[in-house]
Amino acid sequence: MRMRVIVVGGVAAGPKVAAKVMRLNPEADVTVIERGESLSYAGCGMPYWLSGEVKELRDLMSTPAGVVRDAAFFQKVKGVRVLTGTEALEIDRARKRIRVRSKGREQDEWLEYDRLALATGAKPVVPPFADGRLGNVHTLHSLPDVERIQAWLARGGNRPVVVIGGGLIGLETTEALVQRGCSVTLVEALPRILQPLDEELSRLVENHLASHGVTVMTDARVTGLEGGETVQGVVTTRGRLPAELVLVAVGVRPNVELARAAGLAIGVTGGIRVDAGLRTSDPDIFAVGDCAETTNRVTGKPCYVPLGSTANKQGRVAAINLCGGNDCFPGVLGSTVCRVFDYCAARTGLTEAAAREHGYDVMTAIVPDFDRAHYMPGVGLIVLKLVADARTRKLLGAQAVGPGTGDKRIDVAAMAITAGMTVDDLANADLGYAPPYATAMDAILTAANVLRNKLDGLVAGISSTDVKRRLDAGEDFLFLDVRSPAEHQQERLPGTVLIPLGALRARLGELPRDKEIVAFCKASLRGYEAARILLGAGFPRVRMMDGGVAAWPFEKLR
């Protein structure tokens, strides 16, 4: 008898399961149930259609060859039956069947299965104040969402918009709205935006948003919306904001109601609990994509990281296993990348904060560097942060922010973490080099070497955020700028003493030996050299400020 496979969900993971099953078992009877009308669309591309960078909405639903992935495409090309406008209502595990309701039909229908894959995705978190009573209050989760926002934008004009939530969707949509001429205020309830980054790097992104005219309001909780038929204002704990459109982007939750009602186990993160083969607590039912819990590859603990990349990989693994194979999904590193105007913001593995929470003996390095030879056109700066375990010297995480090519370095770091490499291994990685693509010592190799120096005790570091807190608290230490006078005059940090590196040896007698000295330069290469000179001269308490002026995320003096 032909194996009957039902897939619930037709956006990302579900179509991947269905197509892979048919490639492995062309005789299978595969049915995809999708509540909406659109299939296999690129939800992550929606902000770029809003901005106009993607010209046609159909491009988000098409193959690279330009064929729309609709029900007819899946039937003719993949051999998969698709029921759009159909909702899965109940799973009868004992009789291995699922009850569905289709638009236009008066009676529900029971469909029988041998294997069932749940790809029910996630749903946006909608706070009580966004209860649907006011118009022009949207999430950005589906094609109907993006079409409604696009219709509003088509009216034109420099109108005020409030984006609630400083995560990936909030930032990507903020960029799109600014490019369409809107005045955008980004409101975040937490002390900073982009929580997947540590503070030093997320503040750099915040500054970059401000440089593009975005008002960033952190530590601000939205308490209500004002308006008649449509929204006119947003009330926050820090005041009222005018708004003719509000985007709510405060996160998503796994859509697990169908699984929970069927008695399937739900994990500690709220996603459907699965094993390494993506089987649920029922061995004939699999769960993939944004509805499923997964595992952090560094800590080995459950996590919930909804990403389209993860959904597609999981769909392949689940299809192999429900066809009788023995594949494994090992978990995720949380690798993400976001474009914020001309900045790249990316991360993989553990942040410093997360590594400390998990009990690691943490050592970090923050290193600004160029993404290609400094004399090449298009060269861009990247600020890299590496996180390592001081005991084992293994790389735990990496972050990148700046106009340079950061995603490439984060991909290298992701593979290094996956392989269990130490920072010593990474520092000697044989990466490709040519001036248009990289420096002779690539930025990530330089960052690894800085981290090795710190692990070896050659220098002690201090973060820019710690320096700023100490300055604000009035602590007594010497903040030593070893750049040139011209650099110091162009932009300088508060509370500094200037002694250029070339003059430092001759002027050691001017420096107090009873104070801690924190040395820095533009990127802290000269700051490191200064620290080594001071330590060699017997100064007892010396540090370099990680990242120097290039990674200083606070106000500078000019």
Q: Which pLDDT tens digit goes with each residue over 262-295?
A: 999 999 999 999 999 999 999 999 999 999 999 9
Averaged pLDDT, 320-332: 97
Res 455: pLDDT: 97
Residue of 260, 285, 281 lying closest to 116 (CA atoms): 285
DSSP E strands, 317-361:
336-340, 343-349
What is the token pair recorded at 434? 């040519």
**C-alpha distances out from residue 114 to 29, 34, 96, 323, Å:** 10, 19, 7, 10
pLDDT at 194 exceeding the cut of 80: yes
Q: Which pLDDT tens digit goes with each residue over 379-432?
A: 999 999 999 999 999 999 999 999 999 999 999 999 999 999 999 999 999 999
CA distance 104 to 68: 24
Residue of 90, 120, 92, 113 lying closest to 272 (CA atoms): 120
What is the token pair recorded at 179? 């490019």
Averaged pLDDT, 332-343: 96
Res 132: pLDDT: 83
CA distance 272 to 521: 50
What is the token pair recorded at 359? 């009990």
What is the token pair recorded at 521? 């330069």
Share of the chain above pLDDT 90, in %: 95
Averaged pLDDT, 482-497: 94
Q: 100-104, 206-210, 346-350 — which is least confidently predicted? A: 100-104
Q: Are 500 and 485 in contact (CB under 8 A)?
A: yes
- Tell the burial category of 275 from Cβ atoms under 10 Å away from its Cβ (0-12, 13-18, 19+): middle
Q: Report angle CA 550, 348, 437 to the nearest 5 degrees.
A: 60
What is the token pair recorded at 349? 């593995």
Using 50, 70 and 90 to split pLDDT, how confident is the model at 156? confident
Q: Which pLDDT tens digit goes with each residue over 164-182?
A: 999 999 999 999 999 999 9
CA distance 209 to 331: 32
pLDDT at 445 exceeding the cut of 80: yes
What is the number of alpha carbons within 13 Å of residue 349 lying toward its C-beta? 29
Res 133: pLDDT: 86
* H-only helix segments in 286-418: 308-322, 352-357, 406-418
DSSP 135: B
Averaged pLDDT, 536-557: 94
pLDDT at 325 exceeding the cut of 80: yes
SS3 (DSSP) at 520: strand
pLDDT at 200 exceeding the cut of 70: yes
CA distance 131 to 307: 26
Contacts of 131 (CB under 8 A, 6+ apart): none
Residue whose pair of structure tokens reads 């060699």 in the numeric block: 536
CA distance 157 to 328: 51
Q: Report angle CA 119, 124, 125 to the nearest 5 degrees.
A: 130
Averaged pLDDT, 292-319: 97
Res 1: pLDDT: 67
pLDDT at 104 exceeding the cut of 90: no
Res 352: pLDDT: 97
Buried b (16+ CB within 10 A) or exposed e, 45-75: bbbbbbbeebeebeebbbeeeeeebbbebbe
Contacts of 269 (CB under 8 A, 6+ apart): 254, 293, 302, 303, 304
What is the token pair recorded at 537? 């001269």
Catalytic residues: 44
Res 511: pLDDT: 96
Using 50, 70 and 90 to split pLDDT, how confident is the model at 157? confident
pLDDT at 558 exceeding the cut of 80: no
CA distance 134 to 222: 15
Compute how many other C-beta atoms are within 10 angstroms of the C-beta atom of residue 239.
9
Domains and CATH numbers, the chain: 4-122+253-322 (3.50.50.60), 137-250 (3.50.50.60), 342-455 (3.30.390.30), 461-551 (3.40.250.10)
Q: Which pLDDT tens digit goes with each residue over 350-373?
A: 999 999 999 999 999 999 999 999
Q: What are phi and psi of 111, to 5 degrees?
A: -115, 130
Q: Helix %, strand %, coil % for the chain, to 5?
A: 30, 25, 40
Q: How far apart are the first and last CA of the chain?
A: 78
What is the rounded average pLDDT for all residues in the chain?
Answer: 95
